[in-house]
Structure 1
Amino acid sequence: MKKIPPKTQKWYYLSIPILFFFGSIFHFLYDLSGNSPIIGAISAVNESVWEHQKMVLLPVTSWWVLYFLIKGKKNQINKRNWFTGLAASLGVSILAIPFSFYFYSGAFGVSLIIVDVFILLLAVAAGQCIGIHLYKHSTGLPLYASIILIILIILIFIIFTFNAPHLPWFRDSMTGRYGM
């Protein structure tokens, strides 16, 4: 087991409310930007489940990368495990949103804004917990594999923003449209 420096451990716990806050901003960023396609590539452009997953995409990736760039060398953070943790955190956060949403809305036949907000918090917390757990307890993926996986995830979200498949996951629940 790799020991995490106390300051890194503290920042890990602080990251959950911070990422929740920034994720919430990413829900409104596209509208606030005047519908900028550049901002739309990285933030929610409609009310589809797919687009809501972008609320964690850039905030989670940015937190892990910035923390590594600012504190990594000083805190002797293992690159391979750190970026494995990032890839896992990103994957879990992204997947937790549709799984949670479809579970509760399908099981109970309702869609409530308060539950949707809680899902974002749950997704961020689950992703961060899994990410830091893998950092501490795994040998990690090869560094290039983690970075390629992270880049692919981001590219897929950008591509599907402009060319969304006509599937329910991508359908705006308010307008019935797909993508931007």
Structure 2
Amino acid sequence: MELKMCQVIGALFTIIAGTLLHFVYKWTGQNIFVSFFAPVNESTWEHLKLLITPILLFAIGEYILGGKEIINFVPVKLLSIVAGMLTIVVSFYTYVGIVGNHYLWADIATFILGVIVAYGLSYSLLGTSYFTSLSARQYAWIGLVILMGCMILFTWSPPTIGLFKEPSTTALKP
């Protein structure tokens, strides 16, 4: 399949699967295994799973269907996930800092923006000579393991900073 079309399909898959994933933990009766990849509360960190999990699932399919032939596939996918995560975090806290509250429509928009950034970066870097070195590929696998470990660890033992706290139901005050 053409790279561009594959990334568009991946973005659509991520938006749909990420939206559904928002409810999976509750639907499964708060299954501990599901908590590893689906959000368990309304914190920004937990909502990053809505991006991470579907991108990883789609990337596994891409890898099996030909991604393993692309030498920089794993580093690019890791960088794409991180770029999407950063986009969500920065855009969320920027708009909340400006308006003093968060809104569902804007939260959804930050998620979609993160997905677009992730797949846009993936499209622009896959097949280039960037991140093709052996060390880049090794570090990417290590980075994926660390990311997955953080998803699990920080769900059950979150650091005490705002990223890991559920937002207040009242307006945020400066």
Identity within the alignment, %? 23
TM-score by length of 2: 0.88
Counterpart among 152, 159, 166 of residue 165 in structure 1? 159
Residue 63 of structure 2 is aligned to residue 72 of structure 1: no
Shift in Å, 1:51: 0.7
Shift in Å, 1:126: 0.2
For the residues of structure 1 that align with 2:49 and 2:88, how far apart are their CA atoms? Answer: 10
For residues 52-63 of structure 1, the aligned pairs below 5 Å read 52-63=47-58
Corresponding letter in the other structure for 2:151: F
Report the counterpart of residue 178 of structure 1 in structure 2: none
For residues 1-180 of structure 1, the aligned pairs below 5 Å read 7-72=2-67, 77-78=69-70, 80-140=71-131, 141=133, 142-173=136-167
TM-score by length of 1: 0.85
Shift in Å, 1:139: 2.7
Across the aligned residues of Structure 1 and Structure 2, the Cα RMSD in angstroms comes to 1.7
Q: Is the 8 A contact 1:48 1:172 kept in 2?
A: yes
Shift in Å, 1:20: 0.5
Report the counterpart of residue 172 of structure 2 in structure 1: none
Deviations 1:30-72 (A, max 9, x none): 1111101110111110011111111111111111121110233
Q: Is the 8 A contact 1:22 1:59 kept in 2?
A: yes
Deviations 1:8-44 (A, max 9, x none): 3211112111111111112111111110111011111
Corresponding letter in the other structure for 2:109: F
In structure 2, stretches of 5+ residues that fail to align are 170-174
Q: Is the 8 A contact 1:60 1:90 kept in 2?
A: yes
For the residues of structure 2 that align with 1:133 and 1:147, how far apart are their CA atoms? Answer: 20
For the residues of structure 2 that align with 1:157 and 1:150, how far apart are their CA atoms? Answer: 11
**Aligned pairs, how many?**
166
Deviations 1:127-172 (A, max 9, x none): 1111222223343153221111111111111100010112211112
Q: Is the 8 A contact 1:48 1:169 kept in 2?
A: yes
Q: Is the 8 A contact 1:85 1:135 kept in 2?
A: yes
Corresponding letter in the other structure for 1:57: I
For the residues of structure 1 that align with 2:155 and 2:129, how far apart are their CA atoms? Answer: 33
For the residues of structure 1 that align with 2:93 and 2:168, how far apart are their CA atoms? Answer: 17
